[in-house]
């Protein structure tokens, strides 16, 4: 039970409480040896002191034949005395652990049988990369490399050149991970092994993933099987290795194969011995790793950051960008993508068929019904018992066996096991869709155990993470056990869990380039062409995800109070009612506006400002549904849209919503190295900032003159506790940056080495001497030219240079701003204060205020206020609806009015409708009054464009000689007729028009005769404020209510 890091002191007796005498070295030793001896002496003195205290309390236990009867009684006193005497915490814990070890050893030896005091567990820090052992290995390898270069001779033998290439890759390219050597050999056996173009030439190495090196790409399987996870690593070549590879490929016969290429273990052992023989060093894995890394970083003018040194030694991992995505960065080719709506995305004709199994289409709606019941709607506070009752009512004899099992299982978890509603929803999300897709209409009552096992494995053996698979397996086992007890199903013959399986993680590595992201926003604009509000919301969400790197869930739960009202617009992801942060490290601040491209600032700021105008509370969500500012948007729908659209646009590449976060953090990685190396154009194109913006971003994220802390600052921006997580999962240009740093090698070489190592001819050597460039960096372009026929060259497509036109054109929304400003005026704020805050003209504010007052002064025939009740006689705005359905109606009406404005004639008719509705309705009685069929016939063509016919209801009183056909305009409108009592007063009939509430039936069940929506009155009242002037409103009071007069209002924006 001793801490495995603690070393017990030697004892001459079987009783470890009797210490042996130790002779310490008294010779003159080097500094580190002297300090080590001093620490040992100090530890021994403290231990002797602790045993002395123990012996004072229990002398009978510190002899050869001990007696331990009083140990349990006296031990608390001994422990307290140790704390007082030793003082220092580390000394106390070390002595305490030694006594624990001695007691446990005595139990095992039979000296006593005592309860062992619980030892302290000391968490040791990870050993640093640079220590004394590193120094020794570095010294050995540097000396060996120096002698090797001096004795190197030219060769034309393929095998010797291959060994030379492995040696140079080890020493100068950072390929110290020897398990990649077989993949390197298989790569150069191809006809065109090199990828990319200078200065980013690389070899794509394909190897099997394991627990240390996760997969980052799924290779399409043969014979329509499951796609195979693969680990793809890009090896970017330094100038020396590139020169040797040029000699190797030009002399290699087509039939040449390295020794033991089919057996990786034999291959590594064989060539490791060959390389060690060339360098004249012993075969040591740590020497090859640490010593070679020291040689790599000690080349002239190579300034390799510490984290990249740890990457090439394997202490830090980083997922490489697969070759198909590298090709995408070069070509930038976008395919077509046609869309109907967010649920229907048509595949591009030029793209390959998507290699993902689709779920079988089954005519079952049970999962959607269950999701609707279990989903927590923050606008409706339904009790737990109401949800359980709704779920119980769903269980009917008409259900299929698979549907009945799913419903009963979830009901059991809620009603009997008392699980939370969110737990049942999580279980349904995990297996509901796939279970119904596989089991619906299947004769489950005839299945045996193997049939069920096959059915479950068809669900589990799909592309997914091990964590998700295990969770689904546990849920399926739980549901099947429930079915065994309740429905008499046969038990499973085998376990669904993968026992003793080593977990191999998968890192989904992909980068969304700038042209692809712009095209994504174009599709979003086209998708929501008739709803600019939703289009702007989605575009802003995607832009913030692509630029800031926040998780989709963090953006979805972001509140208005979490955005700092400053030029930087810092975002603060916090724990709130809408969700918790993923980890404690996610509590951070991230700048928003400095990270946006120049053409994105206006759009994002306009959206955020409009949300601030609309808000009633700073606790409202930034991205919310139209009808409820406290209801989160569905990020799953956004994820499906992004995945499908990017798949089509890229011609068949797999993308996810999370890849926007990968892109943002990988872009920041390039910015961190921009002042250290010269980035090639293909990488520079991923940074849409000027030099001044890059400097500002570096200062905000990292600070000034803090190069050592750059990756730690980037990890903090990503919400990670250490750079290791950020590097291993989100940063996909690490291998490329290592290659760029190593290309700066300017270590001089002589004529002999130029011929033996670089394969240069006398003319090239003379040319390099003339230019005073006898160093590896100057040979890179020459070697790359020699290797053109062995390169799958990727030619970068130039940028069009056209200004982006993908963003929704925005103007200040007068509808939103006027409502916000008049609300503040009601609270007593002044014009100049509001003009400054909302950046609006004071004259316009005054005009809106006077128009609102003129509307309030409209009177009925009896002299009472027409639009305001007595309780609101001092207000200037209609009461805002609290019902979510009425809010939806207002948004739908605004959307229809925007379409009407495109047609001047229809918009003129709408303004007549607005005037008529306000002058023929009162606050004391619902509905719009009509006394002429002609006015009704003119009113309804425009009204039916605002809301469909079935939403309208007409209460009609007719004289005896009149028929319904004189009033009826559509068979879909509900009409109720009554006899007219005052025929002389209304010879043409009397009608009252209502906009039916979306949940009218629900209120009718409560005994109400009718229940109409106030959305139309609120919408028209607010629009009248911005469409008409105060003089026009005052003129209405004296005009004929039904008279058609041409009145031009202001040109206002409704967006």
Instruction: Look at residue 940 and tell me whether its pLDDT is greater than 70.
Output: yes
Interval 405-414: pLDDT, tens? 999 999 999 9
pLDDT-derived band of residue 503, with 50, 70 and 90 as boundaries?
low
Which carries the bigger pLDDT value, residue 816 or residue 482? Answer: 482
Does the residue 373 lie in any domain?
Answer: yes
Distance CA(769)–CA(757), nearest Å, equals 17
Q: Is the pLDDT of residue 695 over 90?
A: yes
Per residue in 340-361, pLDDT (tens digit) is 544 423 333 333 333 333 334 4
In this structure, are 263 and 402 located in the same domain? Answer: no
- Report d(CA 735, CA 318) in Å as an integer: 8
pLDDT on residue 834: 78
Q: Is 437 within 8 Å of 406 (Cβ atoms)?
A: no
Where do runs of H (alpha helix) occur along 334-396?
A: 366-374, 384-394
Tens of pLDDT, residue by residue over 257-269, are: 999 999 999 999 9
Structural tokens at position 988: 């043409």
pLDDT of residue 531: 63
The residue among 95, 127, 159 that closes a domain is 127
- Nearest alpha carbon to residue 248 among 773, 790, 680: 790
- For residues 805 and 784, the answer to whether their CB atoms sit within 8 Å is no
Q: What is the pLDDT of residue 203?
A: 95
More confident residue, 353 or 1030: 1030
Give the lowest-confidence range in 148-157, 633-642, 781-790, 957-966.
Answer: 957-966
pLDDT of 813? 64
Q: How many residues does the chain have?
A: 1055
**Average pLDDT for 621-625:** 91
Helix (H, G, I), strand (E, B) or coil at 467: helix
Which three-class secondary structure state does DSSP give residue 595? helix
Flag whether 222 is in a domain.
no
Region for 579 from its dihedrals, namely left if φ exceeds 0, alpha if ψ lies in -120 to 50, beta otherwise: left
In this structure, are residues 201 and 242 in contact, taking their beta carbons and an 8 Å threshold?
A: yes
CA pair distance 446, 458, nearest whole angstrom:
18
Long-range own/partner contacts, residues 768-777 (CB < 8 A, 24 or more apart): 774/748, 774/749, 774/750, 775/300, 775/745, 775/746, 775/747, 775/748, 775/749, 776/172, 776/238, 776/239, 776/240, 776/243, 776/745, 776/746, 776/747, 776/749, 777/239, 777/301, 777/743, 777/744, 777/745, 777/746
The whole-number pLDDT of residue 528 equals 66
Place of tokens 């009461």: 879
- Residue 228 inside a domain? The answer is no
Q: Quick one: 771 and 888 in the same domain?
A: no
Residue 691 above 60 pLDDT?
yes
* DSSP-based helix, strand, coil % in the chain, nearest 5: 50, 5, 40
pLDDT over 60 (residue 822): yes
pLDDT digits (tens, 9 = 90+) for 592-608: 999 999 999 988 998 99
Does the predicted TM-score (pTM) go above 0.75?
Answer: no
> 222 or 895: whose pLDDT is higher?
895
828 shares a domain with 788: no
Is 1048's pLDDT higher than 50?
A: no
Q: List, in sequence order, the alpha helices (H) in 961-1054.
A: 1000-1004, 1015-1027, 1030-1036
Chain centre to alpha carbon of residue 781: 39
Indicate whether 261 belongs to any domain. yes
Contact, 165 vs 244, CB < 8 A?
yes
Phi, psi of 874 (to 5 degrees): -100, 0
* Alpha-carbon span 867 to 855, nearest angstrom: 7
Highest mean pLDDT among 469-473, 621-625, 810-814, 982-986: 621-625
Same domain, 820 and 965: yes
Q: Which residue has the higher pLDDT, 679 or 998?
A: 679
pLDDT computed for residue 445 by the predictor = 78
- Tell me the torsion sign for CA atoms 56, 60, 63, 69: negative
Let me know whether 474 and 548 are in one domain. no
Same domain, 695 and 787: no
Residues spanned by the domain of 644: 322-349+506-732
Q: What angle do CA 600, 606, 611 make, to 5 degrees?
A: 130
Q: What does the alpha-carbon distance between residue 1043 and residue 140 come to, in Å, rounded to a whole number? A: 102
Same structural domain, 618 and 536: yes
Select the more confidently predicted residue: 761 or 446.
761
In a domain? residue 809: no
Q: Which of 434-438, 876-880, 966-970, 979-983 has the lowest mean pLDDT?
A: 966-970
Q: Work out the average pLDDT over 531-548.
A: 89
Main-chain dihedrals φ then ψ at residue 995, nearest 5 degrees: -95, 110
Omega prior to 199 cis, within 30 of 0 = yes
How would residue 986 be classed by pLDDT, with cut points 50, 70 and 90?
A: confident
Any domain includes 223: no
Burial grade of 518 (CB within 10 A; 0-12, 13-18, 19 or more)? middle
Given 732, 754, 784, the domain boundary residue is 732
For the stretch 6-19, pLDDT in tens is 445 555 567 888 88
Which CATH number characterizes residue 696's domain? 1.10.443.10
pLDDT at 466 over 90: no
- pLDDT over 60 (residue 379): no
Model pLDDT, residue 962: 79
Least confident of 59-73, 523-537, 850-864, 1032-1046: 1032-1046
CA–CA dist 339, 187 (Å, integer): 41
Q: Are residues 306 and 378 in the same domain?
A: no
Same domain, yes or no, for 910 and 1013?
Answer: yes
In the prediction, which pLDDT does 11 show? 54
Q: Residue 230 in 3-state DSSP? A: strand
How many angstroms separate the Cα of 693 from the Cα of each of 536, 597, 598, 700, 1031? 25, 10, 10, 11, 51
pLDDT band, residue 307 (cuts 50/70/90): very high
Mean pLDDT, the chain, whole residue set: 84
Are 654 and 759 found together in one domain? no
Give the burial string for 744-759 (b: 16+ CB within 10 Å, else e). bbebebeeebbbbbbb
**Residue 356 placed within a domain:** no
Same structural domain for residues 622 and 579?
yes
Is 216 a member of any domain?
Answer: no
Residue with the bigger pLDDT between 698 and 1010: it is 698
Mean pLDDT of 562-568: 92
Which residue would you say has higher pLDDT here, 285 or 557? 557
Task: Select from 686, 697, 688 the least CA-distant residue to 732.
Answer: 686
Closest CA to 307 of 294, 296, 298, 316: 316
Hey, how many other C-beta atoms are within 10 angstroms of the C-beta on 143? Answer: 14
What is residue 6's predicted lDDT score, i.e. its pLDDT? Answer: 46
Three-class secondary structure of residue 1032 per DSSP: helix
Burial of 837 per CB tally in 10 Å (0-12, 13-18, 19+): middle
Mean pLDDT of 607-622: 88
| pLDDT, mean of residues 751-775 | 92
Q: pLDDT tens digit string along 857-880?
A: 888 888 888 888 888 878 888 888
Q: Decide if pLDDT at 641 tops 60.
A: yes
Residues 764 and 889 in one domain: no
Show which of 486, 517, 551 is a domain's final residue: 486
Does residue 692 surpass a pLDDT of 80?
yes
Closest by CA to 373, choosing from 394, 344, 349, 350, is 394
Please tell me the total count of domains within the chain: 5
Is residue 399 within 8 A of residue 366, CB to CB? The reply is yes
Q: Which residue has the higher pLDDT, 220 or 821?
A: 821
Q: Which residue has the tokens 């056990």?
A: 481
């Amino acid at each position: 039970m001793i801490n495995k890091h603690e070393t017990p002191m030697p004892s001459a007796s079987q009783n470890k409480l009797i210490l042996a005498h130790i002779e310490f070295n008294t010779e003159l030793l080097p500094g580190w040896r002297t300090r080590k001896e001093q620490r040992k002496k100090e530890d021994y003195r403290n231990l002797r002191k602790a045993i002395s205290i123990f012996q004072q309390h229990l002398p009978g236990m510190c002899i050869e034949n001990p007696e331990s009867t009083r140990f349990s009684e006296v031990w608390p006193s001994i422990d307290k005395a140790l704390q007082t005497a030793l003082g220092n915490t580390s000394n106390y814990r070390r002595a305490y652990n030694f006594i624990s070890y001695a007691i446990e050893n005595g139990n095992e030896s039979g000296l006593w049988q005592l309860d062992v005091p619980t030892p302290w567990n000391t968490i040791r820090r990870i050993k640093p990369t640079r220590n004394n052992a590193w120094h020794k290995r570095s010294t050995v390898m540097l000396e060996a490399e120096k002698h090797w270069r001096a004795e190197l001779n030219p060769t034309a033998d393929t095998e010797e050149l291959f060994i030379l290439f492995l040696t140079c890759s080890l020493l100068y390219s950072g390929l110290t991970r020897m398990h990649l050597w077989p993949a390197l050999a298989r790569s150069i056996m191809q006809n065109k092994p090199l990828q990319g173009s200078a200065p980013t030439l690389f070899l794509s190495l394909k190897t099997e993933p394991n627990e240390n090196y996760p997969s980052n790409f799924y290779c399409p399987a043969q014979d329509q099987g499951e796609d195979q996870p693969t680990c793809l690593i890009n090896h970017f070549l330094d100038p020396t290795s590139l020169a040797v590879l040029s000699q190797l490929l030009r002399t290699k016969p087509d039939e040449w194969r390295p020794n033991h290429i089919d057996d990786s273990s034999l291959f590594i052992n064989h060539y490791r011995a060959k390389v060690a023989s060339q360098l004249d060093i012993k075969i040591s894995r740590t020497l090859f790793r640490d010593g070679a890394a020291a040689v790599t970083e000690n080349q002239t003018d190579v300034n390799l950051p510490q984290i990249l040194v740890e990457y090439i030694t394997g202490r830090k991992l980083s997922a490489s960008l697969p070759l198909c995505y590298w090709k995408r960065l070069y070509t930038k080719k976008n395919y077509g993508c046609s869309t109907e709506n967010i649920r229907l995305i048509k595949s591009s004709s030029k793209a390959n068929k998507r290699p993902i199994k689709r779920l079988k289409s089954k005519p079952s709606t049970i999962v959607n019904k269950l999701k609707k019941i279990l989903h927590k709607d923050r606008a409706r506070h339904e009790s737990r018992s109401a949800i359980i009752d709704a779920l119980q009512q769903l269980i009917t004899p008409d259900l299929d066996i698979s549907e009945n099992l799913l419903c009963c299982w979830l009901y059991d978890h809620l009603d009997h096991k008392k699980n939370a509603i969110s737990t049942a929803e999580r279980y349904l999300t995990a297996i509901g869709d796939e279970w119904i897709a596989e089991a619906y209409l299947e004769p489950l009552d005839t299945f045996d155990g193997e049939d069920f096992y096959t059915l479950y494995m068809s669900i589990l053996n799909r592309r997914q993470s091990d964590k998700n698979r295990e969770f689904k397996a546990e849920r399926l086992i739980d549901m099947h056990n429930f079915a065994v007890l309740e429905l008499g199903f046969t038990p499973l013959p085998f376990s669904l869990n993968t026992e003793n399986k080593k977990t191999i993680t998968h890192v989904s590595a992909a980068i969304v380039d700038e042209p692809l992201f712009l095209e994504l926003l174009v599709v979003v604009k086209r998708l929501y062409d008739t709803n600019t509000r939703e289009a702007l919301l989605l575009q802003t969400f995607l832009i913030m995800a692509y630029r800031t790197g926040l998780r989709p869930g963090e953006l979805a739960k972001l509140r208005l109070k979490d955005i700092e009202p400053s030029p930087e617009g810092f975002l603060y992801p916090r724990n709130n009612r809408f969700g918790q942060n993923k980890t404690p490290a996610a509590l951070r601040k991230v700048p928003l506006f400095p990270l946006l491209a120049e053409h994105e600032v206006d759009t994002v700021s306009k959206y955020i400002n409009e949300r601030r105008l609309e808000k009633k509370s700073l606790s409202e969500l930034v991205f919310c549904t139209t009808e409820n500012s406290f209801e989160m948007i569905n990020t799953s729908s956004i994820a499906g849209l992004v995945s499908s659209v990017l798949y089509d646009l890229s011609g068949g590449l797999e993308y996810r919503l999370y890849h926007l976060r990968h892109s943002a953090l990988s872009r920041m990685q390039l910015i961190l190295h921009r002042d250290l190396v010269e980035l090639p154009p293909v990488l520079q194109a991923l940074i849409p900032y000027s030099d001044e913006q890059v400097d500002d971003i570096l200062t905000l994220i990292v600070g000034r003159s803090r190069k050592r802390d750059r990756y730690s600052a980037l990890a903090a921006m990503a919400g990670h506790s250490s750079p290791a997580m950020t590097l291993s999962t989100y940063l996909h240009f690490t291998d490329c940056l290592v290659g760029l740093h190593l290309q700066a090698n300017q270590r001089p070489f002589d004529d002999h080495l130029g011929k033996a190592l670089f394969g240069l001819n006398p003319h090239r050597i003379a040319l390099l001497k003339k230019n005073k460039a006898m160093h590896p960096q100057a040979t890179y372009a020459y070697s790359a030219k020699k290797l053109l026929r062995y390169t799958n060259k990727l030619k970068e497509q130039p940028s069009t240079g056209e200004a982006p036109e993908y963003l929704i054109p925005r103007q200040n929304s007068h509808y939103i701003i006027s409502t916000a400003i008049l609300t503040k005026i009601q609270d007593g704020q002044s014009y100049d204060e509001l003009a400054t805050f909302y950046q609006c003209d004071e004259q316009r504010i005054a005009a809106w205020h006077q128009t609102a007052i003129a509307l309030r002064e409209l009177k009925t025939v009896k002299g009472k206020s027409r639009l305001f009740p007595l309780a609101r006689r001092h207000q200037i705005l209609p009461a805002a609806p609290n019902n979510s359905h009425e809010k939806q109606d207002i948004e739908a009406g605004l959307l229809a009015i925007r379409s009407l404005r495109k047609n001047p004639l229809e918009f003129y008719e709408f303004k007549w409708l607005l005037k008529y509705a306000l002058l023929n309705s009162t606050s004391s009685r619902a509905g719009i009054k009509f006394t002429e069929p002609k006015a009704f016939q003119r009113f309804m063509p425009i009204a039916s464009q605002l809301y469909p016919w079935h939403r309208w209801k007409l209460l009609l009183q007719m004289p005896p000689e009149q028929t319904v056909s004189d009033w009826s305009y559509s068979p879909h409108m509900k009409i109720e007729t009554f006899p007219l009592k005052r025929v002389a007063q209304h010879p043409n009939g009397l009608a009252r028009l209502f906009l039916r509430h979306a949940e009218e039936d629900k209120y009718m069940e409560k005994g109400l005769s009718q229940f109409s929506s106030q959305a139309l009155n609120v919408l028209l009242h607010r629009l009248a404020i911005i469409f008409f002037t105060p003089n026009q409103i005052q003129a209405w009071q004296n005009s004929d209510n039904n008279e058609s007069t041409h009145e031009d209002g202001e040109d206002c924006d409704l967006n």
